[in-house]
Amino acid sequence: MWLPKQINTNIALYKAIADSLERDIHTGKLKSNDRLPPQRQLAETIGVNLTTVTRAYREANQRGLIETRKGDGTYVKARGIAYNANTSIQALQNSLIDFGFVNPGIADLTPLLKTIRQVGSASEVMDIYHYVDSAGLQRHRQTAANWLSQFGFRNINVNQIILTGGAMNAIHCTLLGLFQPGDTIASDPLTFPGFINAAKLCGIHLMAIPSDNEGMLPTALADACHTQQIKGVYLMPNMQNPTSTCMSDRRKMQLAEVIRSADLRLIEDDVFAFTNLESTTALSAMLPQHSIYICSFSKTLYPGLRIAYVKVSGRDCNAFLNALVHTVWMASPLNAEILSRMIESNDIHKVAVSIRAAISSRQQFARKNLSDFELSVNQESMFLWLTLPEEWHADAFENAALRVGIRVIASKKFSVDNSHCPNAIRIALTTEPDDKRFHEGILKLKALLHQSPTVVDAVM
């Protein structure tokens, strides 16, 4: 049971208890989702009245440290943002160097603005301002088919291409249209938090399948299919989030055989395909009858466009489209027109070249300055996966970084079931648009990594 070890007798007792709780969260003694003792039990154990503990818990809750779960007790808030009376997080929001959310903040807006002006003055595209076929306009779907052909797809049936409002919309349509509440989908132990949350919302159970430095182990997936009723598998073969693992073609073929034999639906999330220096083969291209392939541009080009190209197997098209109709009806034809024109004019490749150059430069700077620590990164990756020194706990480091004005993401957010949660953080490389601030942020992280949690907490 948690007990406050250090009490500051110079301040109100309830605040001293809340401070002790906050300190233990920072140092990793208390971790996300740890259950705290009931208020009455804690009051009796440490010899204070119940009102004092109640006020202490209320104070900790206001600081964003804990949460009360109705009928279940009080817990350390998952990935809670720490609060400090002298360093308000709210005051930091505008000055934060964001290494958390993956976003193409470095993307050149000039080609986008040029295309928007072209679309605005084009009289032949009046159809984009009206309701259209929910799958998207035929010409936009043809452009999508042409784009996807570089990832190993051959002779694509345009009727199996559906445009959605970004990858998350595609994920929700897949789960709502092709699966039932209670179904089980296999995934990597660490994966995209958006998919984890979408599965929870849809009542889908996720099963973590062991992986290695090439991704999911085919034998482990096959074994799980023999013992469990698995209906699908969610994978990011060409740039796994958060580890940046990339599968070899051999691993893809092995997994394709398991998926085909078990008659699973593959949900392939290839949102980082745009940053690949060379075209890579999609796993879905090996499984045209068993896959839903999602190619989005939000994380790698312009988030505001909110367009994803989805290649759906013939047997699943109607169910997927039905889910789309009952969520957003259709993706924005205006946004699809802008993206199509950028692809057809080759402007999209010019943007890609500049983004790749920025990734390379920032990776080089980060690798050089964080060379004392274990890094996992692919040359096209928009993020780094950094294993922390033993003295740091990931949640505590996330909060400590936030205190010095930097947002990073601790490993627990990516964990499917919390059983596989390495002591690591993800560092996004492309969200901060200013190189000077990016360099400043990396150097601050470097300094923080070389400090001990107790020293950092004492200073703060």
Are 433 and 99 contacting, i.e. CB atoms less than 8 angstroms apart? no
32: CATH: 1.10.10.10
pLDDT interval class at 458 (50, 70, 90): very low
- Does the pLDDT of residue 87 top 70, yes or no? no
- Does the pLDDT of residue 306 top 70, yes or no? yes
Given this model, what pLDDT does residue 91 score?
43
How far is Cα 73 from Cα 454, in angstroms, rounded to an integer?
Answer: 29
Place of tokens 């901060």: 432
Which has the closest alpha carbon to 163: 182, 185, 144? 144
Angle at 145 between CA 141 and CA 149, to 5 degrees: 170
Q: Are residues 338 and 359 in the same domain?
A: no
Are 312 and 290 contacting, i.e. CB atoms less than 8 angstroms apart? no
Given this model, what pLDDT does residue 90 score?
43
378: CATH: 3.90.1150.10
Which has the closest alpha carbon to 84: 369, 405, 313? 405
How far is Cα 237 from Cα 266, in angstroms, rounded to an integer?
Answer: 11
* CA distances (Å), origin 194, targets 22, 200, 378, 413: 28, 10, 22, 10
Pair type for strands 424-428 and 184-187: unpaired
pLDDT interval class at 449 (50, 70, 90): very high
Mean of the pLDDT values across residues 419-448? 93
Q: Are residues 311 and 362 in the same domain?
A: no
How far is Cα 65 from Cα 198, in angstroms, rounded to an integer?
Answer: 25
Q: Which of 344, 368, 394 is the last residue of a domain?
A: 344
Q: Are residues 340 and 434 in the same domain?
A: no
DSSP secondary structure letters along 107-143: ---HHHHHHHHHHHT-GGGGGGGS---TT--HHHHHH
- Does the pLDDT of residue 408 top 90, yes or no? yes
pLDDT interval class at 280 (50, 70, 90): confident
More confident residue, 319 or 23: 319
Q: Are residues 239 and 324 in the same domain?
A: yes
Please provide the average confidence, as pLDDT, over all residues in the chain: 88
Q: Are residues 295 and 231 in the same domain?
A: yes
Domain that holds residue 248: 123-344
Whether 132 is in a domain gets the answer yes
Mean of the pLDDT values across residues 40-59? 90
Q: Are residues 31 and 139 in the same domain?
A: no
Q: Are residues 49 and 151 in the same domain?
A: no
Are 57 and 74 contacting, i.e. CB atoms less than 8 angstroms apart? yes
The pair of three-digit structure tokens given for residue 418, joined into one six-digit string:
């919390």
For the chain, the domain total comes to: 3
Q: Are residues 144 and 278 in the same domain?
A: yes
Report the chain's terminal Cα–Cα distance, integer Å.
Answer: 26
Q: Are residues 178 and 273 in the same domain?
A: yes
Q: Are residues 172 and 275 in the same domain?
A: yes
* CA distances (Å), origin 363, targets 345, 350, 355, 443: 29, 20, 12, 13
Pair type for strands 291-296 and 265-269: parallel
pLDDT interval class at 125 (50, 70, 90): confident
Q: Are residues 144 and 98 in the same domain?
A: no
Q: Are residues 296 and 152 in the same domain?
A: yes
pTM score, whole prediction? 0.79
- Does the pLDDT of residue 401 top 60, yes or no? yes
